[in-house]
């Protein structure tokens, strides 16, 4: 797959004197330095996950297998042709009395040896099947469309997992850095406290408090580093490569609805679970009609041709040909089993109608939950920022008061711990806002690489579907020219 490459912007620059060219180039080198080529954005990570994911590849293969159900259903329109050949050896012995002599021992002896061989062709062409084939094809088409929604749902989950993994690594990297800075602060405080203890300005208790808080800071840093290693491992599992130089992402706002009502309206129409339930209902309806077709007359044409050589003594060859039109009218088929199958299929169809409502209700719940969480995290972000501002001011004030004897060292250490906690809370909230934003986009059914612009080429199941739905022959599942089922977004306008 190819990733999108942005075209450089062309700017018109007025002619400059020759003596100024070198200065301008130097100035441009300072202010227009290119970004590091190894930096990875969230869009890059989503594109990599889309190309790498074995989960997505497995679901694509299952969808291609579902495409073959349509080809199987279409086979009901075509003839069934068979050929057979045989070869053998026949021999027989006989004795018969000689005329006028009844003595068996003096009878005449006869021996016959034949080598029969032959071949035959048989063809059966359905003419009318009670619309069973038509309804079978329609049911397979609907099931195939439902399978595409399963594929779309898998793609959404893969991309959401990638967003979560990306946000976790960025969060944990920031938390590690915060804890490293905190440990530097505690080291400086411990050294200053020991120096003041040496000259008698503080007590041994102050030194012990600084040592204890420094040990806690080291423990927090070790835990943060362990969490980062875990997040990096999950990132590599989901994205397909280890994270390096990740750029802090911004929550996706382009695809977010303006109101929760808009989100619900979109989700109950476009969520893959809802669309899949609609196609499953269509398939169940066609299944009822397909089974009902067994009660209708069936008509077919049968053609036969056979050639047999040396079938028996004194006959060198026999040939036979026939064309027969056959009509079968069911009166009480299969002891009434067909009637039970029809009733059973109708009950199944009723259940699929209820599954549509269930899917819509579930989608509405998921949308509201995602929307509420997103709004809550945004409000929490504002509180976290206010807390950081207040704790920063408080720390500076406590440090000044500690210098003039109005505060203790423990007050300074507590103020630093509160500032660290508010900073960690903000990083966690930023990660939660990112994941909640994409969760909401997924809930309304619009999380795809084409929508977020994460790839210039996307897998399109329509290509394989068109290749095989009416295919008559062949058992190979690969293309001789190495072609893969992808379609260029810039040419197709995106996934449909």
Q: Is 479 exposed, middle or buried (0-12, 13-18, 19+ CB in 10 A)?
A: exposed
Q: How is the chain split among helix, strand and coil, in percent rounded to 5?
A: 65, 15, 25
pLDDT of residue 237: 96
Residue position matching structure tokens 């976790």: 168
Fold adopted by 37-88+131-298+337-492:
Outer membrane efflux proteins (OEP) (1.20.1600)
Residue position matching structure tokens 């599942």: 477
Q: Write out pLDDT tens, residues 41-94.
A: 999 999 999 999 999 999 999 999 999 999 999 999 999 999 999 998 877 776
Q: Write out pLDDT tens, residues 241-295.
A: 999 999 999 886 789 999 999 999 999 999 999 999 999 999 999 999 999 999 9
Contacts 24+ apart (CB under 8 A), 77-80: 77/126, 77/133, 78/472, 79/123, 79/124, 79/125, 79/126, 80/123, 80/124
Q: How many angstroms separate the CA atoms of 484 and 478, rounded?
A: 8
pLDDT of residue 107: 57
- Answer positive or negative: Cα dihedral of 257, 261, 267, 269: negative
Q: Write out pLDDT tens, residues 103-117.
A: 555 555 666 777 888
Bridge partners (DSSP) of residue 110 are 94
Written as six digits, the tokens of 111 are 């021996």
**Is 29's pLDDT higher than 70?**
no
Q: Write out pLDDT tens, residues 176-211.
A: 999 999 999 999 999 999 999 999 888 899 999 999
Q: Per-domain residue ranges for the chain?
A: 37-88+131-298+337-492
Return phi, psi of residue 143, to 5°: -65, -35
Of 445, 437, 146, 439, whose CA–CA distance to 266 is shortest?
445
Mean pLDDT (the chain, rounded): 86
**Is 219's pLDDT higher than 50?**
yes
- Residues in the chain, overall count: 496
Q: Write out pLDDT tens, residues 350-379.
A: 999 999 999 999 999 999 999 999 999 999
Please, which pLDDT band fits residue 171 given cuts at 50, 70 and 90? very high
pLDDT of residue 317: 84
Per DSSP, the residues of 305-368 read EEEEEEEETTEEEEEEEEEEEEEE--SSGGGGHHHHHHHHHHHHHHHHHHHHHHHHHHHHHHHH
Cα-atom radius of gyration of the chain, to the nearest Å?
40
CA angle centred on 108, ends 105 and 113, rounded to 5°: 125
Please, which pLDDT band fits residue 23 given cuts at 50, 70 and 90? very low
pTM over 0.85? The answer is no
pLDDT of residue 403: 87
Q: Write out pLDDT tens, residues 303-337.
A: 999 999 877 767 788 899 999 999 999 999 999 99
Count of beta carbons in the 10 Å neighbourhood of residue 53: 22
Tell me the C-alpha to C-alpha distance, in Å, between residue 385 and each of 305, 382, 390, 416, 436. Answer: 88, 5, 9, 16, 19
Q: Write out pLDDT tens, residues 441-495.
A: 999 999 999 888 887 788 999 989 888 888 888 888 876 555 555 444 433 333 3
**In this structure, are residues 349 and 280 in contact, taking their beta carbons and an 8 Å threshold?**
no
CA 144 to chain centre: 15
Please, which pLDDT band fits residue 15 given cuts at 50, 70 and 90? very low
Share of the chain above pLDDT 70, in %: 84
């Amino acid at each position: 797959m190819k990733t999108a490459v942005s075209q450089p912007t062309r700017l018109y620059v007025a002619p400059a004197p020759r003596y100024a060219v070198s200065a301008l180039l130097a100035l441009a080198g300072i202010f227009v330095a290119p970004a590091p080529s190894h930096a990875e954005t969230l869009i890059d990570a989503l594109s990599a996950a889309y190309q790498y994911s074995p989960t997505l590849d497995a679901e694509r293969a299952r969808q291609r297998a579902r495409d073959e159900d349509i080809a199987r259903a279409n086979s009901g329109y075509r003839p069934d042709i068979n050929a057979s050949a045989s070869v053998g050896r026949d021999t027989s012995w006989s004795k018969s009395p000689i005329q006028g002599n009844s003595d068996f021992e003096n009878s005449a002896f006869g021996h016959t040896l034949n080598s029969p061989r032959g071949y035959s062709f048989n063809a059966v062409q359905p003419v009318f099947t009670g619309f069973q084939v038509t309804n079978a094809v329609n049911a397979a088409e609907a099931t195939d469309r439902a399978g595409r929604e399963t594929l779309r749902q898998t793609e959404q989950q893969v991309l959401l997992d990638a967003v979560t993994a990306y946000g976790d690594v960025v969060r944990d990297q920031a938390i590690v850095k915060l804890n490293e800075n905190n440990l530097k602060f505690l080291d400086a405080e411990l050294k200053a406290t020991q120096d003041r203890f040496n000259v008698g300005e503080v007590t041994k208790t102050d030194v012990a408090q600084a040592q204890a808080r420094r040990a806690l800071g080291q423990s927090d840093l070790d835990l943060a580093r362990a969490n980062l290693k875990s997040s990096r491992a999950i990132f590599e599992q989901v994205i397909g490569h280890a994270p390096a130089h990740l750029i802090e992402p911004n929550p996706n706002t382009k695809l977010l609805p303006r109101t929760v009502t808009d989100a619900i309206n979109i989700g109950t129409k476009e969520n893959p679970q809802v669309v899949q339930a609609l196609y499953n209902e269509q398939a169940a309806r066609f299944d009822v009609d397909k089974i009902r077709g067994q009660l209708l007359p069936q008509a077919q044409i049968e053609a036969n041709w056979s050639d047999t050589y040396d079938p028996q003594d004194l006959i060198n060859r026999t040939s036979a040909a026939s064309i027969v039109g056959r009509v079968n009218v069911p009166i009480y088929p299969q002891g009434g089993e067909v009637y039970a199958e029809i009733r059973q299929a109708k009950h199944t169809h009723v259940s699929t109608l209820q599954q549509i409502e269930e899917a819509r209700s579930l989608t509405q719940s998921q949308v509201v939950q995602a929307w509420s969480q997103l709004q809550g995290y945004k409000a929490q972000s504002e509180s976290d920022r206010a807390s950081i501002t207040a704790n920063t001011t408080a720390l500076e004030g406590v440090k000044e008061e500690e210098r003039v004897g109005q505060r203790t060292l423990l007050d300074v250490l507590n103020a630093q711990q509160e500032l660290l906690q508010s900073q960690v809370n903000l990083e966690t909230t930023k990660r939660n806002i990112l994941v909640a934003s994409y969760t909401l986009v997924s809930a309304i059914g619009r999380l795809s690489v084409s929508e977020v612009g994460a790839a210039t080429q996307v897998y399109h199941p329509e290509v394989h579907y068109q290749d095989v739905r009416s295919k008559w022959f062949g058992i190979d599942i690969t293309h001789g020219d190495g072609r893969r089922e992808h379609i260029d977004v810039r040419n197709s306008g995106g996934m449909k």
